[in-house]
Amino acid sequence: MNAPNRAGWRPEIAADPCEDRAPPTASGNRALALEEPLIFELGAAGKCGLDVEPVPGEVLPALAKFRRRAPVALPGLTEPEVMRHYTRLSRQNYAIDLGPFPLGSCTMKHNPRLDEKLARLAGFADIHPLQPRQSVEGAFEAIAQLADWLLALTGMASVALSPKAGAHGELCGLLCIRAALEARGDPRAVILVPESAHGTNPATAAFAGYRVENIPATAAGRVDLAALTARLGPDVAAVMITNPNTCGLFEPDMKTISQAAHAAGAFVYCDGANFNAIVGRVRPGDLGVDAMHINLHKTFSTPHGGGGPGSGPVVLSAALAPFAPLPLVRRDAAGHATLIEEEDAADTAPDSFGRMTAFHGQMGMFTRALAYILSHGADGLRAVSGDAVLNANYVLRALEDVLDAPFAGSGPCMHEALFSDAGMAEGFSTLDIAKGLIDEGYHPMTVYFPLVVHGAMLVEPTETESRAGLDGFIASLRSLAERGRAGDPALKTAPHYAPRRRLDETLAARKPVLVWKER
């Protein structure tokens, strides 16, 4: 079954249970399970997908220095070869339109096609950031409507829409906090980050120039309130807390934490990545939060991943609102949405800490998020969070008898169910369960995160999945858990039916091959 393909290399094809009856193929393919070489191996010099006439005349003297000194070494393919190559690759890709993405903490949910259709309307899709202001007033109004909704849902005073992602939003919130502290002549050096917070929180705080100190979690998976309040002092600038946290649990002491932080002169930053679990039910502003980023792709179903374009708006309390970054879209006294740039800031935003990005933000994401919000309404968004929490608890209770659930005794979870590999046979771990899920036709859950649980398996079904769909996933995960507990040796070598067998992930991390070189 490892016949060389057209390029002469031998693909690593998974073992076939019927291999003793199935003759090998000369191509290396197995019916529609196509082996696809790299595009460099497919290409050949002299081929091109279009005809380009040579440019007549001599090269202008000013451009002579840009003349190529050697071939570009790009692959040459015809148009059909290019189309077939990427179509074949797409057949090996897993996507939310193919099946569920149970990634805990990532909230991979369906993107309604209505939102995609509206984002492609010419007035939104063709907008350019350098257009005259008077030509994009409709866009300003759409941005202002989105801002109105975000403020209503969070109970906050202001929102900065320019940050491009969650971690970018975290940085924006910390820069607002720094500006507020400097404005009152109170520089502070420490950010407190609980163990149950998102991993980007300490990284962002360190990037912003703060010293990060860890706050432990309790046995119930929540912030240790006594340890946090004991550490608060005149050097603490802020507490960064994730709520619901990465254990999938709501922090019941959130208001007490905020009150203690404020009494010590510190601010409260809330990581809003898990807002999908509480949207329409809890307003962070009512919990004493000063700044919180919102991942539009996680809560309001804009496209997720792929390197962008993304959006991470930051909602701010009244204490931090004056320090929001430019540019801003605000409503004037008459309710008209207007853009505030540097030249306007002296009168309208004199305390802004400055600019984070070249332009105001990602219009496509704003349009999709606003369409999602308007199509659901307040009652619909409340139903979204309820269904997301219901689905997560359904998974938790359906599997807690075969998978260790370290916080199952702490009461209902929120948006995600957390398991561990405790109870597996000797030598079997979370990685084996995750690789086995690939054979079952599912994308693996988040593994080995959060770090507070050894061998963590974090499952977030979101509200997207139906009960029937969850039952199928649960049946597969239950089967894998039982095989792991029984010590099934076949699980150690999974996946068996994927285009590739199990990779050496340690070697790949330590010695990555990032550039293709012709052999």
In Å, how far are 34, 44, 315, 366 from 79, measured between CA atoms? 19, 13, 47, 35
Q: Which residues of the chain have pLDDT under 70?
A: 1-22, 305-308, 519
Measured in residues, the chain has a length of 519
Q: Which residues are CB-neighbours of 36 under 8 A, at least 6 positions away?
A: 85, 88, 89, 92
**What is the per-residue pLDDT for 13?**
43
CATH number, span 114-124+133-369: 3.40.640.10
Give 460-496 as a DSSP string.
Answer: --TTTS-HHHHHHHHHHHHHHHHHHHHT-GGGGG--S
Topology at the third CATH level for domain 380-510: Aspartate Aminotransferase, domain 1 (3.90.1150)
Q: Where are the domains of the chain?
A: 39-91, 114-124+133-369, 380-510
Q: What is the pLDDT of residue 12?
A: 45
Q: What is the pLDDT of residue 21?
A: 59
pLDDT in tens, 224-245: 999 999 999 999 999 999 999 9
State the pLDDT at residue 22: 65
The Cα 459–Cα 477 span in angstroms is 11
- Count CB neighbours of 39 within 10 A: 16
Measured CA to CA, the distance from residue 69 to residue 154 in angstroms comes to 58
- pLDDT of 493 reads 95
Q: What pLDDT sits at residue 316?
A: 98
| C-alpha dihedral sign at 88, 93, 95, 97 | positive
Return d(Cα 99, Cα 437) in angstroms, integer: 12
Round to whole Å and give the CA distance between 432 and 486. 13
Quick one: pLDDT at residue 58?
A: 80
pLDDT of residue 216: 95
